[in-house]
Amino acid sequence: MNDFQPLPHHKFTFGLWTVGNVGRDPFGHPTRPALSPVEIVHLLAEVGAYGVNLHDNDLVPIDATPAERDHIVANFKAALADTGMVVPMATTNLFSDPAFKDGAFTSNDARVRAYALQKTMRSIDLGVELGAKVYVFWGGREGTESDSTKNPLDAIKRMREAMNFLCAYVRDQGYDLKFALEPKPNEPRSHIYMPTVGHMLAFIYTLDHPEMVGLNPEVAHEHMAGLNFTHAVAQALDAGKLFHIDLNDQLFGRYDQDFRFGAEMIKQAFYLVKLLEDSGYDGNRHFDAHAYRTSTLEDVKAFARGCMRTYLILKDKVARFHADADIQALLAQIHADKGEFDYLKGGYSAEHAQQLSATAFDLSVLGARNLPYEQLDQLTIELLLGVR
């Protein structure tokens, strides 16, 4: 009997900012009290998470003295030791302070760009001290409202220079750390540079050390752009660049919702879990989501449990999909292949080209094939609805 209990090997993680979200939105004040980082570690341990991720300032206030920093970090490490929680990922807050109102690495102001680099170096040091192996970059302010204000070519160049500088810093320190870039199309800027997984993937190959840099795709961000998230993740996996993943849920065409994983688009969530599980992805499953603004503490815990439980239920559905005789029979029918074109798997050769040129294709036969996709999709829906 599968009880859908989260276990450490599932690698379920949450950010301090996720279950710590106080319910503030652009129209209203917080609806629940702030929890301290130590309280959040205990909450996450209680609900069965494996790890906790953080921005530098989720833990250490931006104006803390070095002594205050050391004291806070020591308390946090004690909470990790008490609970067995780990810190697999860390990141920098380059968006809250008004200094970053026109971006961090892409700001028009060289002083802001330099400060962003310095802040990130310190935050990388903190992340490594806490054990992080993945360092995320989400450039929420790296964009514009008006393109009169910034030349996009300058912005992309500045972003590249920043990544190259920080990769070199990590190498120079001898840190065992990879970077994961997180694209988002908009919010909080009207337009954010390199807005989707595809854009960011292309950017990575322009860096000095592309082998150190991969992606942190997020469900909500591709959905905000109206894109198929599973296809985006597949492209990252295919390139060997899925270094991390942010799971949540989000309807197309809405504000940045950050809902509980699987809360809205259950079919898309199923195909995503199927891809992650079938591909053997062994990184963290990080939930970058928060509870509804209407929730109080008990409901925040239910939110966190719900993210993990839905993932595990969908993982079970994936196993049922693979074991379902009717589904597998349809797939076998769809993929039936007499092997007459197996020679093309060997790629191009002059003989293959000649053989192919000499082949006659009967388009009426190809066009008349029965593709039982309605049947297959209905069986998938019935499986998800729990009647098979």
Q: Compute CA distances 331 → 323, 334, 380, whole Å.
A: 12, 5, 12
Please list every residue from 242 through 281 that binds ligand GCO, using CB under 6 A: 246, 256
Give the residue with the Cβ less far from ligand GCO, 23 or 140: 140
Site string for ligand GCO, 87-126 (x = CB under 6 A): ----x-----------------------------------
**Annotated active-site residue in 3, 10, 25, 58:** 58
Query: Closest distance between ligand GCO and the C-beta of residue 138, in Å?
Result: 3
Helices (H), 130-265: 152-173, 197-204, 219-224, 229-238
270: partner contacted, choices ligand GCO, Mn ion, none (Cβ within 5-8 A by kind): none
Distance from C-alpha of 374 to C-alpha of 141, rounded to nearest angstrom:
44
Look at phi and psi of residue 304 and say left if phi exceeds 0, alpha if psi is from -120 to 50, else beta. alpha
The answer for residues whose C-beta is within 8 angstroms of residue 269's C-beta and 6 or more apart is 219, 249, 261, 262, 310, 314
Tally of CB atoms within 10 A around 350: 7
> Is 58 marked active-site?
yes
Distance from C-alpha of 338 to C-alpha of 193, rounded to nearest angstrom:
47
Please list every residue from 27 through 86 that binds ligand GCO, using CB under 6 A: none
With CB under 5 A as the contact rule, which of the stretches 210-218, 303-311, 318-326, 370-378 interacts with Mn ion?
210-218
Query: Closest distance between ligand GCO and the C-beta of residue 321, in Å?
Result: 29
136: partner contacted, choices ligand GCO, Mn ion, none (Cβ within 5-8 A by kind): ligand GCO
With CB under 6 A as the contact rule, which of the stretches 104-112, 136-144, 297-305, 350-358 interacts with ligand GCO?
136-144
Residue in the structure block whose two tokens are 């990252």: 236
Please list every residue from 277 through 296 that binds Mn ion, using CB under 5 A: 288
The answer to whether 230 contacts ligand GCO (rule: CB under 6 A) is no
Distance from C-alpha of 58 to C-alpha of 72, rounded to nearest angstrom:
11
Task: With CA atoms as reference, report the closest residue to 15 among 246, 255, 311, 296.
Answer: 246
Give the residue with the Cβ less far from ligand GCO, 304 or 330: 304
Please list every residue from 284 through 303 that binds ligand GCO, using CB under 6 A: 288
- The residue count for the chain: 388
| Beta carbons of 269 and 261 less than 8 angstroms apart | yes
With CB under 5 A as the contact rule, which of the stretches 24-32, 85-93, 238-246, 270-278 interacts with Mn ion?
238-246
Residue type at 326 in one-letter notation = D
The answer to whether 324 contacts Mn ion (rule: CB under 5 A) is no
Residue type at 332 in one-letter notation = A
The answer to whether 56 contacts Mn ion (rule: CB under 5 A) is no
Distance from C-alpha of 246 to C-alpha of 140, rounded to nearest angstrom:
15
- Binding residues for Mn ion (CB under 5 A): 218, 246, 288
What positions carry a catalytic annotation?
55, 58
- Binding residues for ligand GCO (CB under 6 A): 91, 136, 138, 140, 182, 184, 218, 246, 256, 288
